[in-house]
Amino acid sequence: MIAGAGVLGLATAVALADAGCAVTVCDPADRNASGVAAGMIAPAFEAALDESARPHAGLLMAARNLWPALAERAGIELDRTGALAVGPDDWLDGVAASLTALDARPMDIGGGTARALAPGLSDTFARALLSREDWRVDAPVALAALRNTAEAAGVQFRPWRVSSRGNADVLVVATGASADLELAPELAGLAPIKGHIVRVARPAVGAVVRSRGIYAAPGEAMAFGATMEPGFGDDAVDPTKAEPLLAAGLQLFPGLAGTPATFAAGVRAATSDGLPMVGPSAEPAVVLAVGPRRNGWLLAPLVAQIVTAFVTGRDPGPYAGRFDPKRFRA
Ligand SMILES: Cc1cc2nc3c(=O)[nH]c(=O)nc-3n(C[C@H](O)[C@H](O)[C@H](O)COP(=O)(O)OP(=O)(O)OC[C@H]3O[C@@H](n4cnc5c(N)ncnc54)[C@H](O)[C@@H]3O)c2cc1C
């Protein structure tokens, strides 16, 4: 049984079903962080721009490398155009140095090339950095595809909140930012980070664009994200947080001005070292799959692989130690 039908629960459900397990996914809600996310599979820029991700760049890259197989399995379109950074020269120089140190091979390109890669990008940018290491999925579309794939693989779905393992052989806890401590005591170690995101209702293609404090991720709508609001665990939309994102996004893509926009918010769950907790709980026959912070989409295939190894008694591989929930026990 899996509690939670976000990207971690669904990717794990597909992997467990493919390994021959009988799987039931329970989730009482139809809204979660996975469905509002931008869908960036972004080891390079996340490690370059987010200090808590930087020490884990190699691991993030390894997770990304599992995406082609998952995308093919679930019929998810994986866009590999790459990601651009635009902004003031001194900021771009710092980002270029970080990307180079991470072996993410940034290319310094002119504004015209950047606009060819990101159609609609403002012509005020004469220079950009391009990394091909970051990929992208359209998160709401990909979440639906994962669910369909799981159903086709025989996974059962129930609209229930899980409060205990009940009769299940194993319970996988993939409950996002919920702190349901009756499921596993380790969930007390998760902290919420609320994030607002804006979607402008016009289909967009091409590279993700990063700038200081804002990104634009194409898809069925153009997504401008995202705020980082530590300590807030509710997903209520606050227009005073979302409107600045819209304004900053329109500076990147001015042609989208006047297009209808929707505001949304989701809650990321984070541990104190920025890595998720994946593996056996202190609670018998309970396996955790929680806490991927800003990188739940990126990490999902790696988390699914590790959980499946624990459930089926196989070697969980080289990254399981760094995800071990026991690291916080002391
Ligand atoms: C604005 C924003 C943008 C983001 N952009 C990106 C991005 O571009 N790339 C990236 O990699 N990550 C991104 N993230 C982070 C990513 O969305 C999360 O890390 C990821 O979605 C977490 O997935 P999850 O399955 O752990 O949790 P969730 O998606 O939150 O799902 C958890 C599910 O568990 C269910 N649940 C809770 N309690 C119970 C219970 N007791 N029983 C049954 N079900 C229960 C909930 O209803 C929920 O559906 C973004 C996040 C936000 C907020």
Angle between helices 139-152 and 7-18 (to 10 degrees): 30
Average pLDDT value for residue range 64-92: 97
pLDDT for position 221: 96
DSSP state of 219: B
β-strands 208-211, 83-85 pairing: parallel
Phi (first) and psi of residue 197, to 5 degrees:
-145, 150
Pocket test for ligand 1, best of 2, 7, 237 (most atoms within 8 A of CB): 7
% of the chain at pLDDT higher than 70: 100
Q: How confident is the model at residue 129 (pLDDT cuts 50, 70, 90)?
A: very high
Pocket test for ligand 1, best of 7, 26, 34 (most atoms within 8 A of CB): 34
The yes-or-no verdict on residue 95 having pLDDT over 90 is yes
pLDDT for position 115: 98
Pocket test for ligand 1, best of 12, 32, 147, 298 (most atoms within 8 A of CB): 32
Pocket test for ligand 1, best of 135, 288, 297, 303 (most atoms within 8 A of CB): 297
The yes-or-no verdict on residue 124 having pLDDT over 80 is yes
Per-residue pLDDT tens over the stretch 208-229: 999 999 999 999 999 999 999 9
Write down all domains in the chain, each with its CATH number in brackets: 2-328 (3.30.9.10)
Average pLDDT value for residue range 76-99: 97
DSSP state of 137: -
Ligand 1 shell residues, CB under 6 Å: 3-9, 26-27, 29, 32-34, 36-40, 161-162, 174-178, 180, 195, 197, 225-226, 266, 268, 290, 292, 294-298
Ligand 1 midpoint to CA 268 (Å)? 6
Atom number in ligand 1 closest to CA 266: 53
Ligand 1 midpoint to CA 32 (Å)? 5
- The 10 Å Cβ neighbour count of residue 196 is 26
The yes-or-no verdict on residue 329 having pLDDT over 90 is no
Q: How confident is the model at residue 179 (pLDDT cuts 50, 70, 90)?
A: confident
Ligand 1 midpoint to CA 62 (Å)? 21
Atom number in ligand 1 closest to CA 7: 25
Ligand 1 midpoint to CA 34 (Å)? 4
Atom number in ligand 1 closest to CA 176: 27
Average pLDDT value for residue range 151-159: 98
Per-residue pLDDT tens over the stretch 8-49: 999 999 999 999 999 999 999 989 999 999 999 999 999 999
Name the residue with the closest Cα to ligand 1, atom 16: 296
Cα(186)–Cα(327) distance, integer angstroms: 10
Vertex 80: Cα angle to 228 and 52 (nearest 5): 30
- Alpha helix locations (H) across 166-256? 239-252
Q: How does the average pLDDT of the chain come out, rounded?
A: 97
% of the chain at pLDDT higher than 90: 96
The answer to whether residues 4 and 175 touch, using CB atoms and an 8 Å cutoff, is yes
Average pLDDT value for residue range 61-86: 98
The yes-or-no verdict on residue 88 having pLDDT over 70 is yes
Ligand 1 midpoint to CA 297 (Å)? 9
Name the residue with the closest Cα to ligand 1, atom 1: 195
For 95-200, list the strands marked E by DSSP: 107-110, 127-131, 135-136, 156-158, 171-173, 191-200
The yes-or-no verdict on residue 330 having pLDDT over 80 is no
Cα(53)–Cα(45) distance, integer angstroms: 10
Cα(236)–Cα(246) distance, integer angstroms: 17
pLDDT for position 250: 98
Atom number in ligand 1 closest to CA 31: 49
Ligand 1 midpoint to CA 320 (Å)? 20
Per-residue pLDDT tens over the stretch 290-314: 999 999 999 999 999 999 999 999 9
Name the residue with the closest Cα to ligand 1, atom 39: 175
